[in-house]
Each structure stands twice: as structure tokens, then as C-alpha cells.
Amino acid sequence: MTERRQFRAIKGTRDILPPDSALWNRFEQTAREVFESYNFGEIRLPIFEQTELFARSVGTDTDIVSKEMFTFPLSQEFEKSTQLEEGPEQRELVSLRPEATASVCRAYIEHNMQALPGNTKLYYMGPMFRRERPQKGRYRQFYQIGAEVLGQSDAPAIDAEVLEMLLVFFSRAGLTRTTLYINSIGDKNCRPQYVELLRQELQKVKDQLGADSQRRIETNPLRVLDSKVPSEQPIIEKLPRISDHLCDDCRAHFAKLKDELNLRGIQYEENWRLVRGLDYYTRTTFEVIAEGLGSQNAVCGGGRYDGLVELLGGPPTKGIGFAIGTDRSILSIEETGNAPAPDGLSVYVAWMGLASYPTAVWITRKLRDAGLTVELPPEEMKFKKSLGLADKLGARYALILGEDEVASRTFTLKRLADAEQKKLTEAELLEYLESERRR
């Protein structure tokens, strides 16, 4: 006898069930509508790519690449010892995507999109994978909605328009209590000097820092600024700030970005410690924080990544974009009480007596064609039980269909909230329910 075994979703993954999934769909649909109004088109990307693509883009020393990717050899041949003996460089490793900016850049190059007129404006949505320690708002399979602009221009107006689009989307999606933080982390002309200065200053206070920050002094000193360790905060506050070390071009770019945001009436706060956890950023970086989420409160992160396309073997290209964390956004919408009520079930068809069944099937079809959500019980039920179920399912109306109704070619429509009943012909019924639906 086979052993009885219950399966559960793997830690860090989860099922999105109705009615939550309706909220997810609406959230994603709103993104499509808003992004398309800014002339973005959707790109659908593979779920896995060469590991090397992410290593090069996101950076080998980042947490994401060094410890969080789900990586496996592409084909079984690679497992065979003969192949392994040829050395690790012979094994083609692929990873489940931990983010999608690298894939968008890969696709931009592969499809020669620089030949297209104007800037290339793309959006995407779907699951991403990171082997993080699961907690509220942090999963191993999570979902992002992202947008990227690639092209020849790095005009700050592009950054500002991307941020405007993001905030218009959040407000339309019901995520209203948010704060936008911005920063500039310089470019290849000014950042290396700043990073060196930071490293020197950090060396002086090394003994007062925790193990993670101590390690980062060597691997990536900028990431020390991201530390949330309470005892490190007063030390970090005294470190040199990048804003005092930007080159003239980066300083002018950041000043113009702020003018552009003001022009659009976009509120923001500057945060000199916003360095982000991925290596590809230059100049503009930003994050949006939302309420109701505890420590995992970043609902969006993004920034400029001029030079990434080149790093991946493409032509010199400027880029900027963001990714919204859908899981956290939905959590915040729910916890701040802004979730719109789901449309739910409009009509429950309470039919009784086999003679009424054909009419029940056919009127159900008609109502569904008219765009209503309708439930038709598949088996005959006692009248009381049927209405009880209609109530439990949250139906707004019960359409009562018994022998009387069939004989008189009418329908009895009962509004379940106040038990008001009407006898209607088919035409009257359709007209009444359609006008209700539009309200």
C-alpha cells in the first residue's frame, strides 16, 4: 500500500487564491492600462536565463548572485563525469531569474532594438526567484511588475516621467500612503573615488561594525550604507556622503531631475543612503516605501543603468527602470483598507423541478453573455437550501425558477440584501440586471 502523504507548497512559495487573485488581476490590469498610456509595450521574457547574464549584470558580489539564485545545469549531459572533467567553464549553468532588467537588456541586444525609432519602452510582469529567508513580504517566488526605458538619451525628463508613471499607477491601484526616496550614486567618473574614500573611512571604524558590514568594506563598501543594524547607525551618519562627491555632470543631472519632478508636482525625499543592492546602477536610484508592511516595506526599487547594455555586449545605451513588488503592494493595499470590494457573484439561479432546468441552463448562458457572474447549481436542491447557499456565496440576487415561472414564462428576481422580489419577463430581467451591472 502506498503511504498517505500530504504535499504542501515549498517554503517561500505560496498559492494566490480567490478572492485575492481578483485583486492581483486588477492590480496587474491597472499597470497595463497606465503603462500603455505612457506608450510602453509588454515584453514577455523567459523564466530562466544563463547564470552568467545575471552574474554580469547584477554583480557577482551581490547577495542576489552570490547566495540567492536557483541555479542548475541546462542539460543532463553536464552531470556526466566526462563533461565535468573538462572544467566548470564547460558547464552551461542557468538560473531562475532573480530579476528581469538583465533579461530586458539581453533581449534589447538580441532583437537589435536600438534600430527602432525613439526610446524603447517596455514593461513586464511575472514571478522572480530568490533564495532568501522567507518572512512576511519576502518570498522565494515573488512577483514583480517592471518597466524599462532604453535608448540613446539619458535626459532627466525620462527619469521623471518614469517616476510619474509609477506614482500615477500606485495611486490608481489604491496604494496611496507611499513615500518616494531618491538619490544619485554618481557614475564611473566620480563613484570609484567616492567608494575608495568610503572604504578608507570605514577602515577607521571597522572595529565598531558588525561582521556583515566588516565584510562589505572589502567587497562592496556602498552596501554598508544599507545596514539596518541599530548600533551602526550613528557611525554611518558620520560617513562622507556621495552628494558631496558627485562630478559636475552627475550633479547637474540630479539637479535637473529634481526640477523635473517639481514641474510634475511629484513629492519626494532625498536619501543619501539609498544605494540599492544591485551593481548595475549609475546616477539616479529610487525606492518607494509603503505603509503596513513592517521591515519589508519597499514596494518598488529602480534606477538608471547606463552602460549595462554595453557590459552585455551591446551598443552604448542608456537605461532606466523600476520593478514593483506585487506581493508587498497587495499586502499594503489590504492592510491599509484600500482594497476595492471584489465584484463577486451577481446572480444565483435557484431552479426547482426538472421542468425548469432547461430554462435555467439557457437563461444562465444569456446572463453570462451579458457580462454577469452567475452560479447555476448542477443538481436540484430544496428551495430553502438553495437560497441558503445563494446567501453564503454572497450572491446579490437569486433568480427563482420553478414550475409557476416556467408556465408563465417569467422569472422571479429576489434581491438578497432586503428580500425584495420582482416578477419579470426575460427582456425586463436582462435590462434590469444590465443596468445594475453598469451602476
Which of these segments, 3-11, 130-138, 237-245, 252-260, binds ligand HAM (CB under 6 A)?
130-138
Give the CA dihedral 426, 432, 434, 438, nearest 10 degrees: 180
- Position 130 contacts ligand HAM (CB under 6 A): yes
State how far the Cα of 88 lies from the Cα of 51, in Å rounded to an integer: 13
From 275, 339, 34, 298, select the one nearest 180 (Cα to Cα): 298
- The three-class DSSP label of residue 179 is strand
Contact 88, 134 (CB under 8 A): no
Per-residue x/- marks for ligand HAM, 246-285, CB under 6 A?
--------------------------------x-------
With CB under 6 A as the contact rule, the residue among 14, 138, 241, 245 that binds ligand HAM is 138
From the CB of 431, what's the least distance to ligand HAM, in Å?
A: 46
Name, in order, each residue with C-beta under 8 angstroms of 3's C-beta and a sequence gap of 6 or more. none
With CB under 6 A as the contact rule, the residue among 101, 332, 356, 364 that binds ligand HAM is 101
Per-residue x/- marks for ligand HAM, 8-47, CB under 6 A?
----------------------------------------
Q: Which residue is nearest to ligand HAM (CB)?
A: 325
With CB under 6 A as the contact rule, the residue among 124, 227, 325, 401 that binds ligand HAM is 325
- Position 148 contacts ligand HAM (CB under 6 A): yes
Query: 3-class secondary structure for 337-362?
Result: CCCCCCCCCCEEEEECCHHHHHHHHH
Q: Order of strands across the sheet with 48-50?
A: 48-50, 93-96, 71-73
Residue 269 in grid coordinates: 525625499
With CB under 6 A as the contact rule, the residue among 144, 178, 184, 346 that binds ligand HAM is 144
With CB under 6 A as the contact rule, the residue among 59, 221, 302, 314 that binds ligand HAM is 302
With CB under 6 A as the contact rule, the residue among 298, 312, 347, 400 that binds ligand HAM is 298
- Position 405 contacts ligand HAM (CB under 6 A): no
From the CB of 123, what's the least distance to ligand HAM, in Å?
A: 11
- Position 59 contacts ligand HAM (CB under 6 A): no
Residue 129 in grid coordinates: 526567484
| Range 367-372, long-range pairs (CB < 8 A, 24+ positions) | 367/399, 367/430, 367/433, 370/430, 370/433, 370/434, 370/437, 371/434, 371/437, 372/346, 372/347, 372/433, 372/434, 372/437
Contact 326, 28 (CB under 8 A): yes
Q: For binding to ligand HAM (CB under 6 A), which residues are involved?
A: 99, 101, 130, 132, 137-139, 142, 144, 146, 148, 278, 298-303, 305, 321-323, 325, 327-328
